A and B are shown apart, each in its own frame.
Chain A
């Protein structure tokens, strides 16, 4: 009966049916089940601009180097508030069009950082545009490709009101007299990247990270070091624009080294800018607000770090000072 070695029909039929059955159990049925999920209550559908950006993201195959999944292990906590859920992908992983399927956003390589919450981590549009035009302007050691074909150089006379001009210094342009204008694809891509923020879940609702058994360092007592490291916080939050050297990027993001505002003995303006953002100087990109992202203690640690680094010399900022200004800002 089982004469596979003599009966080619039986051999081929058995191996086909066996494989098809296993595939149904391990792939088709679980896939159908995973399609059943519904979006989270707080999630918004991607608008047409963001969808267009997602298509640019797929065309350029950003998934080759960037993941969009926060795994449920503690080391991934830097990439998101909570582990990713199946529902998180409800709107972004739909079939794109007749020719192209649902994008493989989860990715398998983290040559570059995870992008699950890049919209929260890097809220500034100018930063994204500059970084796409040439990543090494913003992050010196980056190995990400430049995407100059998403931008065009225009002579100053040709730049219209509607154009988004990217604040890049003249020596990086082919023609130093021109200005760099973002094409619609670049703007759409940035809109998509800015939309990447994990949807809020009520406390204790989502899955937890599997904790690490690594021993945590006991935080030292005292107000100054609530375990908060100003340098670390600055590197995570501020240095993408203002740079680790504090020098900023000429033409795009102002220098903090030697800055009058940073060195002012009264830190009120500095704290206020960190809390509610700043867009008063047309020669620089706009700074987003960090009040909702950072606690008083964190802002105090960052401000103290800025006021004591790169040759700056100004007194320490305390969390109480920040709390006071925060109250003032909220009342406005």
Chain B
């Protein structure tokens, strides 16, 4: 049966609908042994394994063992040296050591006999206790980059707006998730499920992730081009355009003005135009900055940033042009648009950010430039063609569905090359993970990049579509990718760069709580909806009455809400951490020291 499915996948290319109908459904009796399901289970097991590994590294038993071995080796060498020494030499060393032990400082070595003016001395405070007994001590950021003040300000503007939209967007998401348990939570039209759902998705897309990406991108292009930003005022205008699009779009959605309900296309075109203008200005600004670079090569990050921007602008134009949007034309465009919105914008741009922020956090170069280039072109080639996999078995042409499924499998190429590149860059620095608060975020993001994308490819298969399509499994997949990949990477980048730019560290305890709440919350969210979604799909295949599948989902919706709450709380803590990193420099509490001349007076 497995072979039939694969054959169907390969041969289905170009078959028309009537031919395809002669192929019977795959056997549902053994759904658990189909490649799509087995693959997904393995991927989830993989990501769980990584979680265990992170915990293990925290326990640091391994490091303890290594340390012991090194110490005993040192003792051995010392012993052998001692045996070979002459008696006289040993006596001489012993005498010297005795004298050294007796020696005491008089306290006047540095100052001589004169009086000191400085009452504080050289060491202000000595403590042997760790700053916080609950979490591991993290390495402090020692390097502070000289960043032009306007760039620093610009980044804080963009990232600040992003943090606001993250908190707002996930508050809405959390509220909407609770409506599955208490449908009568409110009776207000502006807060009803149908209207708030797109507010949640569009806010986290165009508000949180987009603003954070553009803000982090400005630092990358300026730094890797070794030049200043082309125009700060353009960047500011783009900021206003994009934020006003999210404000206005959400207001309209809540008041019941919806473009047509296609996912991520719910803002009407004037609002989308505002956002697109912001993107065009940003692209122009990035492009001009890269064009003015002071080094001959374009760093690989900038390929992704420029590519992501130009592709997304094209995408928005195609998504909103009216001439091919009637009848099922709209559905073709919808599949294309909603998938590329994720693939060409969020994923491409975020990959560009990883190519800069991951190596700089590890203080070493990226493993392979060529793998990055391969991933770039295959991203464009394969990702563009797979939108229709959201409409498998729909009345869209069968060949279009088959192309989408085949190239979904092709997505393994960019995904595997990207993941390999990142993991090989991290290789040899695993011990740094337990000492850094940035790297765990990167590790989770990179692992989810592989797991989430590969799982998405498997989900496009026809058999997996039988079971999972239309169920909450899709929602779990979206969160696995938009949250597990994009959001975790954006956090990693923000924690990596902000302390360097502002010179202020987030509280280590705060970062720890943020990480674990978000991570465990995501797991609860994902696993509950995946389990529930699978059961729901099987219940439909069995032909049970629909309301049974609603009743069946209820405990899973409760677990989703619990996971969602943890994620939301972690965002509040993240917002506080951001404030700690970005707040204005306080004036020094001490008075300006007296000028030198007064010392001599």
Contacts and interface: CB of A to CB of B under 8 A. Distances in A.
Interface of A: 4-6, 8, 11-12, 15-16, 18-20, 22-23, 26-28, 30-35, 37, 58-65, 67, 69, 71-76, 78, 83-86, 88-90, 93-96, 99-111, 113, 135-136, 139, 141-149, 207-208, 210-214, 235-236
A183 to B, nearest CB: 12
Given A16-B310, A146-B184, A213 B28 contact: yes
B385 interface: yes
B18 A207 contact: yes
Contacts of A141: 547, 550-551
A7 to B, nearest CB: 8
A27 B325 contact: no
Contacts of B540: 75
Contacts, number: 273
Contacts of A148: 187
Contacts of A31: 324-325, 329-330, 332-333
Contact of B194 (A100, A145, A207): A145
Interface string B144-160: 00000000000000000
A61 B255 CA distance: 11
B387 interface: yes
A145 B385 contact: no
A210 B23 contact: yes
Contacts of A210: 20-21, 23-25
A64 B193 contact: yes
Given A19-B314, A31-B333, A100-B258, A26 B474 contact: no
Identify the interface centre among A76, A96, A105, A210: most chain B CB within 10 Å of its CB.
Answer: A210
Contact of B256 (A11, A60, A84, A89): A60
11 contacts: A33-B397, A34-B332, A61-B258, A74-B25, A86-B328, A99-B257, A102-B260, A108-B474, A135-B183, A210-B23, A212-B25
B587 interface: no
A100 B268 contact: yes
B322 A28 contact: no
Nearest to A148: B187
Interface residues of B, number: 99
B259 interface: yes
Interface in B284-303: 287, 290-291, 296-298, 303
Given A23-B336, A75-B543, A34 B328 contact: yes
Interface string B184-207: 100111001111011000000000
B92 to A, nearest CB: 63
Given A15-B311, A18-B380, A145-B193, A100 B183 contact: no
Identify the interface centre among B194, B195, B290: most chain A CB within 10 Å of its CB.
Answer: B194
A212 B318 CA distance: 38
Interface in B19-42: 20-21, 23-29
Contact of A145 (B183, B290, B315, B543): B183
Nearest to A84: B395
Interface in B524-547: 540-541, 543, 545-547
A142 B554 CA distance: 11
A63 B25 contact: no
B81 to A, nearest CB: 54
B370 to A, nearest CB: 10
B331 interface: yes
Given A34-B396, A210-B25, A213-B25, A104 B331 contact: yes
Contacts of A149: 187-189
A89 B330 CA distance: 11
A72 B393 contact: yes
Given A100-B260, A235-B545, 10 more contacts: A6-B296, A6-B298, A26-B388, A75-B466, A76-B393, A84-B394, A108-B470, A113-B546, A144-B183, A214-B27
Interface string B301-342: 001001100110011001010101111111111101000000
Contacts of B263: 104, 108
A100 B550 contact: no
Contacts of A94: 326-327
A26 B393 contact: no
Interface in B27-61: 27-29
A107 B116 CA distance: 80
A25 B526 CA distance: 35
B231 interface: no
Contacts of B466: 73, 75
A194 B1 CA distance: 42
Identify the interface centre among B28, B320, B324: most chain A CB within 10 Å of its CB.
Answer: B324
B344 interface: yes
B194 A90 contact: no
Contacts of B262: 101, 104
B258 A93 contact: no
